[in-house]
Chains A and B, each alone.
Chain A
Amino acid sequence: GESVGLHLPTLSVQEGDNSIINCAYSNSASDYFIWYKQESGKGPQFIIDIRSNMDKRQGQRVTVLLNKTVKHLSLQIAATQPGDSAVYFCAEIFSGTSYGKLTFGQGTILTVHP
């Protein structure tokens, strides 16, 4: 299940289950969004992106959904594997700033149990 509190939200799933990680973004002018995966001791790794003119985008085992009405982003991971265990960050960008300043969400810890 998922829990939110003073610490990072956590999501625990069994191997093979589908995972859904949620993110609320803050700026209604943001027009580009990225999901990153960060494993322990490593830098963030780009997973998938989506522009605000899209509602859904699919990659390999991952799908990102965007609901601009409620400023909500989700990352779905199909057939979750132990190697998917990591912290997942969403990030929003207003592309009018060409230097691509990212505003990160607080992150969600995903733990996949074999």
Chain B
Amino acid sequence: GAVVSQHPSWVICKSGTSVKIECRSLDFQATTMFWYRQFPKQSLMLMATSNEGSKATYEQGVEKDKFLINHASLTLSTLTVTSAHPEDSSFYICSLPGQGRLGAFFGQGTRLTVV
């Protein structure tokens, strides 16, 4: 069964509005979650590490004021794309780190289209 639930699976928004994406851990308490972005025909790129109860850490080149991450509980991390623009249109994916030596668990992804 699913370990990570990501919602919504797709969203279309107008330029200038904000969009919130939720990532829920169903089976594990997750002090850390990861957010990735994937543009068409490209690979996944790590955007940020979400840390429960503290600030997220962002990869170089990712604007922390534009991509707001909140990790208020051990089962939920949210990514808010603020003042979205067409160039933010992408596939956003969250993940939990591997448990023990298992591989990472990924959400289903959210297809964001900004018009």
A and B are interacting partners:
no
The residues of A with any CB-CB pair to B shorter than 8 Å are none
